[in-house]
Amino acid sequence: MQSGDVFETVSRRSVVLGAASLCALVAWPRVDEALHPGGPGRETDSPALRHDVDPHGITRVATTRPWVALTFDDGPDPRYTPAVLDRLREFGCRATFFAVGSNVEAHPDLAARIVAEGHRLANHTHDHLWLDRVDQATVSDQLRRGAAAVQAFDRSAAELVRPPRGWTSRAVAATTRGLGLRSVFWSTCLESALRDGPGAAGDEIGAGLRRGDVVLAHDGGRVVGPNPQDIDRSRTVEALPALLERLRGAGLRGVPVQELVAAGRPR
């Protein structure tokens, strides 16, 4: 999940954000140089910075197919995931759900429904920890446990991972590759446009989509544990019909990111 327009700085161990706090970056007062080799303040808050830190990561895919990847983070969440699945089914789209392992364990029925309806699961760590702010042993533990949780429902789900908030580092990238995983970021974010209202956001983001794009959205609002959050995702759900209608009107198809990657050249 990503932070948003304007909100109050809070402690690293307790994050409870509103719906506007979605796709920008929190300005922490200090970054540990050892854990974030880019230097204090050099956060991975843009595609260029993420690529610099993790050249193996995926932001979009060069492809000749009329596909975009729809991705949803932070679930599953019984308040929002069922409605997201209903909208996707209505428009005949499939997606990848970057699920938090602890949420998968808490809501196995929703994880099973995601897979049963033709979508894919992928790894969003076990506890939604910010990986560039923990040691490598913790990074490895979060990736392994997150992979195990999603693999219980989707055997090949562990191949791709999305670091929470897109925060990464060279150390995180090295650990990810060492485990045989590949990070997936995004080229556009639905919640970044919610300031204009759900309908306008869906229309704006949908109108800008091009083949090979990776769309970030969120089906989960609640995470418990070291970095707790509770976010209202109802506006994301409301924005989906406009986005998916634009997608259909442009002759594009929403597919899981795994299929998009297999159909082109990730970059």
Q: Which tokens go with 221? A: 């609002």
* Alpha-carbon span 137 to 211, nearest angstrom: 38
- How far is the CA of 172 from the CAs of 13, 56, 134, 199, in angstroms? 20, 12, 9, 37
Enzyme catalytic residues = 73, 218
The H or E element that residue 177 is part of is helix 170-178
Closest alpha carbon to 68 in 201, 215, 236: 215
* Alpha-carbon span 213 to 200, nearest angstrom: 19
SS3 79: coil
**Partners of 184 in beta bridges:** 58
- ∠ CA 234-120-52, nearest 5°, is 85
